[in-house]
Amino acid sequence: MKNLSLLFLLTGLWLQAQFVSPGTGITYTLTSLSAAAPTVLVNNGTSYTMTANVTITAGDTLLMDENTTLNINPGIKLTVAGNYMTTATALIITSGDATNFFNGIQFDATAQVEMRNTTLEYGGGIRVSTGNFLMDNCIVRFFRNGLVTSGAMSFSTGSPVIQNSQFIQNERSALSSAANSTVSATISNNYFSGNTTDNSNRPQINMGPSGLDSIRIINNTVIGDPAKIMVGGIAAASLGSIPQRVRIEGNTVTNNRYGITVYGVNAAGYIRNNIITNNNTQNNPDQGGSGIALYGTGDQLYIAHNEIRGNLWGITLPTSGTANLGSDVAGNLNPGQNIFFNNGNNGTTTALFNNTSNPVMAKFNCWRENENSTDAMVEAVIHHQADDPALGQVTYSGHYNCGTLSTAEVPLPKNAVYPNPSRGFFYFEAPERGNIIIADTAGRIIHSSLVHQGKNEIRLQGLPGVYFMLYQFNHRKSSVKLIIQ
């Protein structure tokens, strides 16, 4: 009987040590939540500390309206089954300790989420079980395996939107979705750098099946850490019978194990206007290194206007798959105009490797950039039926010679950053609210932060030299050179 009484006492103490909202339509801010549960969410005056688990029940709302720091203690989780909204312009959610991570954030199936202008760091993952999810102008960095084991953020349903944000040096993939359910995410205008720091066989963007709607991966920058030789760039893979639809457009993918991979039954969609360079970090042509690898069956993927340089392979169809790289056939038109240069391994340059029995239409491409190519020269960089009668024929007639395609970037006003040069202290006049990444000439990030519209102070800890600042805002990007004296 004493043991039973002790159990009830311990259970009661545990229940008092967390906060669960009543689900009666209450809107909580950090201030009011701290007043309702002062030992669970401690108001420190200029910041808050979450000492125990908090659950916002369906029907209630958590409104993040303060520019402040929310420190979540190690092992603690925030769960939202109701509404989550951000009106703050600069919120930080962190454990405050690079060695002790909070457990993570869970958005349940009933949640409605608009997460904006937030820096999230030192957590165990963000699990998104709702399709009603928007992340805009956020920074997610230094997350590790915890609540989520597949990535810094994981999705399991619906059409989440992730835009204008940064994902930096997370232990697993930056973004992932379930292999057994459909997620038609829109991932646009984000910056991914050095994710999958555990060097596991995971790409930085690791999406599962889309279903009949498309996964949209548009206008992102995906930069790998060359020391992490197992880490790919972008993958959209449906390993079962679920259809795969993709739009992968306008991305820059560089320094990964491979660039872009699409895998799935009835895979269809577009891969176009991407710049895919030097995805060769593993340097093993038997294990990867393709600029674009296609494993789809059934429907067709249209490949156009890509720049593919310095990978171990250009485009590969390793075991199965159909693709249209350029066609003038009515009803199946594709302008082609892909550019290939220096994609090779073991002394052999391969722009296109068709290892399937399927024919491939591949007209109107530049197979050898900056060369006046003959048919024989093009044939030398394509692997197909001419090399093995069991393989499908690649039709490449009508190829053309080319120069480098230009890439569009929004210019910043003159003197938007000043003084420049400086000793590491700059002002940045931002036309709109957004975020910045500053890296050295080797691509190492030395600073990242949110910026508000107007004047922002930037203090850099860097050696004298040249640096580059990327500014992301409202589906646009600009860059500027900085000099530290």
Whole-number pLDDT of residue 241: 81
Q: Specify the number of domains making up the chain.
A: 1
- Domain with 451, as residue range(s), is 417-484
pLDDT at 319 over 90: no
* Chain CA centroid to CA 367, Å: 29
Instruction: Judge whether 51 lies within some domain.
Output: no
Instruction: Judge whether 3 lies within some domain.
Output: no
Q: What is the mean pLDDT of residues 402-417?
A: 72
45-50, long-range: CB within 8 Å, 24+ apart, which pairs? 47/71, 49/73, 50/76, 50/78, 50/102
Whole-number pLDDT of residue 49: 98
Contact 433, 137 (CB under 8 A): yes
- Residue 199: its H or E element: none
pLDDT at 402 over 80: no
Quick one: pLDDT band at residue 321, thresholds 50, 70, 90? confident
Q: What is the mean pLDDT of residues 317-346?
A: 92
What phi, psi does 399 have (nearest 5°)? Answer: -65, 165
Contact 74, 100 (CB under 8 A): yes
Q: What CATH number corresponds to the domain at position 467?
A: 2.60.40.3080
Instruction: Judge whether 466 lies within some domain.
Output: yes
pLDDT in tens, 282-310: 999 999 999 999 987 766 899 999 999 99
Contact 339, 308 (CB under 8 A): yes
Instruction: Judge whether 476 lies within some domain.
Output: yes
pLDDT at 90 over 90: yes
User: What average pLDDT is seen over the chain?
Assistant: 92
Whole-number pLDDT of residue 141: 98
Whole-number pLDDT of residue 2: 46
Higher per-residue confidence, 201 vs 413: 201
The C-alpha atoms of residue 126 and residue 183 are separated, in whole angstroms, by 16
pLDDT in tens, 441-453: 888 999 999 999 9
The C-alpha atoms of residue 34 and residue 44 are separated, in whole angstroms, by 10
Whole-number pLDDT of residue 408: 59
Instruction: Judge whether 194 lies within some domain.
Output: no
Contact 383, 350 (CB under 8 A): yes
The C-alpha atoms of residue 306 and residue 260 are separated, in whole angstroms, by 11
Tokens standing for 480? 């500027």
Contacts of 6 (CB under 8 A, 6+ apart): none
Contact 256, 262 (CB under 8 A): no
Instruction: Judge whether 53 lies within some domain.
Output: no
Entry field: residues in the chain? 485
The C-alpha atoms of residue 297 and residue 264 are separated, in whole angstroms, by 7
Instruction: Judge whether 204 lies within some domain.
Output: no
Whole-number pLDDT of residue 341: 96
pLDDT at 339 over 90: yes
For tokens 């003084």, name the residue. Answer: 419
Contact 16, 8 (CB under 8 A): no
Amino acid in the structure at residue 232? G
pTM of the predicted structure, to 2 decimals: 0.93
